[in-house]
Amino acid sequence: MSKTYAILGGGGSFGIHAAFYLLDHANPNKVIGIGRNPLRPEPFSLNIEGRDGYEYHARHVTHEMDLLLELLDKEKPEVIVNFAAQGEGAVSWKHSWRFFETNSMALARLTEELMSRDWLEHFIQIGTSEMYGSVDRAVTEDEPIKPTSPYAASKVAYDMYLMSVSQFLKFPMTIIRPSNCYCPGQLLHRVIPKAIWAGLTGQKLPLHGGGKAEKSYMHARDLGRAIHLIAERGPHGEIFNAGPKNPTSIREVVERSAKALDIPFEQLCEVTDDRLGQDSRYWLDSTAIKNAVGWEPEVDWDEGLAEMVEWGKRYLDDIRDWPTDYTLRA
């Protein structure tokens, strides 16, 4: 039976790629993107609004809860996927309360409202690998939580709330904690699209701390597939890590980006000071989600970075002067 999917945080690049994946593979009745602002221009929205079976609505989860609930009650989505969050741990040290306001308090209020809606079958929360902190091995879902930024702490708070309402009130939720993702349409403050932008515009990419930090990266299309599999047959009340088998240093990511751009590494970047609270390694053990629903990442570096370069070249005139720093918005 076809289902209606609602994607909160649907105006962001990962929400858009999740919508594309569900439209292509889930045979949905409808996919509804919901975000705090109107969709960005085509280089970032990728013309998702032109797809049959998709619609987008601007509703702010923190400041327009009544309007959001009115929309959800009208559409009655069987599956809600939540990407909505104030992101970017590096800037969360200032105005930290804004991160808790959205990532914890607003979502807890929404969840309490959803408990009374009999049309909801599955709520899928997109968490973060940052809540494990820096690690020296691939960590499972049982790893002690060690958030190292206000952003990560705010995400932990909501995850813990979800686990409690699942256990004691039977709220039908599953949490996916993905690795870092990248994709065409991603905003330019993230390292991979910023590297592509820098290479195509002749700018220098700042390589914080020489790029020694290691993170686990996957294409957002792989996250979309994880969401689809969990929505179709994933158990309620569980947490699943989702990421590649091995981490990659930021330096190697930039080296790979330079190769995809066909320019020298030294031409692409310059070494700068490290960022406050920068964890040295994120590394996930994704055995549980593989055993539960058969998920593994499929998009390799060569394929993913080729897509990024193609995207950058296609929209170069549009993104040339686009901001490359993160802006905390209401």
Start-end of H helices in 106-219: 107-114, 150-169, 191-201
- First vs last C-alpha separation in the chain: 38
Q: Which amino acid is located at 70 in the chain? A: E
* Residue range(s) occupied by CATH 3.90.25.10 in the chain: 187-215+246-276+300-319
* Residue range(s) occupied by CATH 3.40.50.720 in the chain: 4-181+217-242
Give 287's pLDDT tier (boundaries 50, 70, 90): very high
Tell me the three-class secondary structure of 114-129, residue by residue. Answer: HCCCCCCCEEEEECCH
- 130 φ, ψ (degrees, to nearest 5): -65, -20
If 0-12 CB within 10 Å is exposed, 13-18 middle and 19+ buried, where does residue 63 land? Answer: middle
For 34, the 3-state DSSP assignment is strand
Q: Which fold has domain 4-181+217-242?
A: Rossmann fold (3.40.50)
pLDDT at 278: 54
Residues 71, 76, 77, 83, CA torsion sign: positive
pLDDT tens digits for range 159-211? 999 999 999 999 999 999 999 999 999 999 999 999 999 999 999 999 988 89
pLDDT at 209: 83
pLDDT at 276: 54
| Residue range 187-215+246-276+300-319 in CATH 3.90.25.10 | yes
pLDDT tens digits for range 124-161? 999 999 999 999 999 999 999 999 899 999 999 999 99
pLDDT at 5: 99
Mean per-residue pLDDT, 216-222: 98
Residue scoring higher pLDDT (134 or 79) = 79
Give Cα 232 to chain centroid, integer Å. 20
Beta strands 79-82 and 173-178 are unpaired
Mean per-residue pLDDT, 7-20: 98
What contacts 50, CB < 8 A, 6 or more positions away? none
pLDDT at 218: 98
Residue 58 near residue 38, CB atoms below 8 Å: yes
Q: What is the pTM of this model?
A: 0.95
